[in-house]
């Protein structure tokens, strides 16, 4: 098991991300959007990846209009299983930027929240593919590029509720436990390299997926996506592998 990393307020960090390039999957989601904007605000160039071109263009425009480094868009469907297609994705990054400083795996499929006998088989497999398998394959094909950076990071996102292996969390819960294991395995393998592997475990926060898993919950008790994204950035730029809780 990897060590716990304290998540410090972003204001305490003086490190500039100018010149760095980060790939954010699921950039059209609540957390994906927020962390893309936060990284861009700190000077990083963001590669926005997702399936919805209209939403990707909206985030692109927000970043560009704010005067931050011009981002890039790579539309990509993580339900694909052919590794060669993932290699083409990595080659596109190399051709455009000739570098990659980090991957932030924000893409997420919820699946069915309910008892096992309500789980649809095809949706179960889809959830594992998007949340775990695609993240593993994408990390693998991008490793050669990441290891050319001075220091690089691979950051996964878990879920403080789903990871507890309680009833009814179904394929989503299984995927989050698997993602934490994947991150720990990578952290161990990459221990003596320039690349760290972290998993960020946010607490209750105002995100679209939270509204689906906890309907009726009052927003006044929750962190905002902006606040969570600032903490996630500290996990992304950590110099050590581990688990980041907030």
pLDDT of residue 144: 97
DSSP secondary structure string, 171-229?
Answer: HHHHHHHHHHHHHHHHHHHTTTSSEEEEEEE--SB--HHHHHHSTT--GGGSB-HHHHH
- 3-state SS, one letter per residue, for 14-30: CCCCCCCEEEEECCCCH
pLDDT of residue 14: 46
- Rg, C-alpha atoms of the chain: 17
Q: In this structure, are residues 30 and 208 in contact, taking their beta carbons and an 8 Å threshold? A: yes
Q: How far apart are CA 237 and CA 13, in angstroms?
A: 10
pLDDT of residue 213: 75
pLDDT in tens, 133-175: 999 999 999 999 999 999 999 999 998 887 888 999 899 999 9
pLDDT of residue 176: 95
Q: How far apart are CA 106 and CA 142, in angstroms?
A: 16
pLDDT of residue 56: 98
Sheet containing 4-5: give its strands across.
Answer: 4-5, 242-245, 195-201, 152-157, 102-105, 21-25, 45-50, 72-75
Among 22, 60, 86, 172, which one carries the catalytic annotation? 172
Domains and CATH numbers, the chain: 4-245 (3.40.50.720)
Mean pLDDT by 10 residues, the chain (246 residues): 58 73 97 96 97 97 96 97 98 97 96 92 97 98 97 94 89 95 96 96 73 72 81 92 75
Give the burial class of 36: count Cβ atoms within 10 A of its Cβ; 0-12 exposed, 13-18 middle, 19 or more buried. buried
Q: In this structure, are residues 74 and 89 in contact, taking their beta carbons and an 8 Å threshold? A: yes
Helix (H) or strand (E) holding 59: helix 53-65
The owner of tokens 């981002």 is: 71
Q: In this structure, are residues 65 and 146 in contact, taking their beta carbons and an 8 Å threshold? A: no
Q: Is 94 annotated as catalytic?
A: no
Max intra-chain CA distance, the chain: 51
pTM: 0.91
Eight-class DSSP state of 164: G
């Amino acid at each position: 098991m990897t060590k716990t990393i304290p998540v410090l307020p972003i204001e305490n960090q003086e490190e500039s991300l100018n010149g760095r390039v980060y790939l954010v999957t699921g950039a059209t989601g609540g957390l994906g959007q927020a962390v893309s904007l936060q990284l861009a605000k700190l000077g990083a160039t963001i590669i926005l990846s997702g399936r919805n071109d209209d939403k990707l263009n909206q985030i692109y425009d927000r970043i560009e209009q704010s005067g931050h480094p011009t981002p890039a868009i790579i539309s990509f469907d993580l339900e694909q299983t052919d590794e060669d297609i993932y290699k083409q994705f990595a080659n596109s990054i190399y051709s455009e930027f000739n570098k990659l400083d980090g991957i932030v795996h924000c893409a997420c499929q919820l699946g069915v929240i309910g008892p096992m006998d309500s789980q649809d088989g095809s949706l179960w497999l889809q959830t594992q593919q998007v949340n775990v398998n695609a993240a593993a394959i994408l990390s693998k094909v991008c490793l050669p590029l990441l290891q050319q950076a001075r220091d690089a990071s691979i950051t996964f996102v878990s879920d403080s509720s789903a990871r507890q292996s309680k009833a009814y969390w179904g394929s989503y819960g299984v995927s989050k436990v698997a993602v934490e294991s994947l991150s720990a395995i990578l952290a161990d393998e990459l221990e003596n390299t320039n690349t760290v592997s972290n998993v960020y475990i946010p607490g209750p926060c105002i995100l679209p997926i939270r509204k689906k898993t906890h309907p009726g919950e009052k927003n006044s008790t929750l962190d905002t996506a902006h606040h969570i994204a600032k903490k996630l950035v500290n996990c992304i730029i950590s110099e050590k592998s581990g688990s980041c809780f907030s």
